[in-house]
C-alpha cells in the first residue's frame, strides 16, 4: 500500500464508495422486482408514473425525471407497453411527442409494489427512516455538485 498518496487509494474515494453502493443497491432490488416482473429501470419509470397516476406524461418529461435519454427510455417503455402496464401514443397536437399513460394493470401493480422499499432495505438491516436520512444526504450532495457546474 502506498502511504505517500492516501488520497489516491481506491478505498479512500467517495466516488468509488457511491458507485459501489449504487451497484449493490440496484442488485438488492433485483429479486424483489423479479416477483413483479420489472427490471430496476422499469421500476424507476413506474415510480414516476405512479406519482400522478391520472396524468399523461411525455417521454421527454420521463427522461428528465429519470435522467435518461429517449434512446434508452423508448425500448424500456415499449417493454412496459407489451407487459400491459402503460400505453404510448403520439401527441395529436405534436406528432414528434409520445405520450405515456398508466393502464389499469399498471395502476394495480402499484399496490403490489408498495412494500418494495421496506423489503429491500430490511434485507440489509436498514429501516425506512435510515434510508430516508441517507437519501436526503445524497440529494444534498448531488445538489451541491450540480450547483458548481461542469468541470
Where are the alpha helices (H) located in 38-127, listed in sequence order? Answer: 40-51, 59-66, 70-82, 104-113, 116-122
Confidence of residue 2 (pLDDT cuts 50, 70, 90): low
- What is the sign, positive or negative, of the torsion defined by CA atoms of 6, 8, 13, 19? negative
Q: What is the pLDDT of residues 104-126, one digit of tens each?
A: 999 999 999 999 999 998 888 88
Would you state the pLDDT for residue 62?
Answer: 97
CB 45 within 8 A of CB 66: yes
The boundaries of every CATH 1.10.10.10 domain in the chain are 44-113
Q: What is the chain's mean pLDDT, rounded?
A: 93
Predicted TM-score (pTM) of the model is 0.89
CATH number assigned to the domain covering 44-113: 1.10.10.10
Amino acid at each position: 500500500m502506498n502511504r505517500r498518496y492516501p488520497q489516491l487509494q481506491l478505498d479512500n474515494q467517495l466516488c468509488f464508495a457511491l458507485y459501489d453502493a449504487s451497484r449493490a443497491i440496484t442488485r438488492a432490488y433485483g429479486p424483489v422486482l423479479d416477483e413483479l416482473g420489472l427490471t430496476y429501470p422499469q421500476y424507476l419509470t413506474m415510480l414516476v408514473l405512479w406519482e400522478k397516476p391520472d396524468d399523461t406524461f411525455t417521454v421527454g418529461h420521463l427522461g428528465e425525471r429519470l435522467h435518461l435519454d429517449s434512446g434508452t427510455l423508448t425500448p424500456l417503455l415499449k417493454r412496459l407497453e407489451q407487459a400491459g402496464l402503460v400505453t404510448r401514443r403520439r401527441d395529436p397536437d405534436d406528432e414528434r411527442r409520445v405520450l405515456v399513460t398508466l393502464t389499469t394493470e399498471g395502476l394495480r401493480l402499484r399496490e403490489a409494489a408498495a412494500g418494495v422499499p421496506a423489503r429491500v432495505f430490511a434485507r440489509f438491516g436498514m429501516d425506512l427512516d435510515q434510508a430516508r436520512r441517507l437519501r436526503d444526504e445524497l440529494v444534498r450532495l448531488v445538489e451541491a455538485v450540480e450547483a458548481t457546474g461542469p468541470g
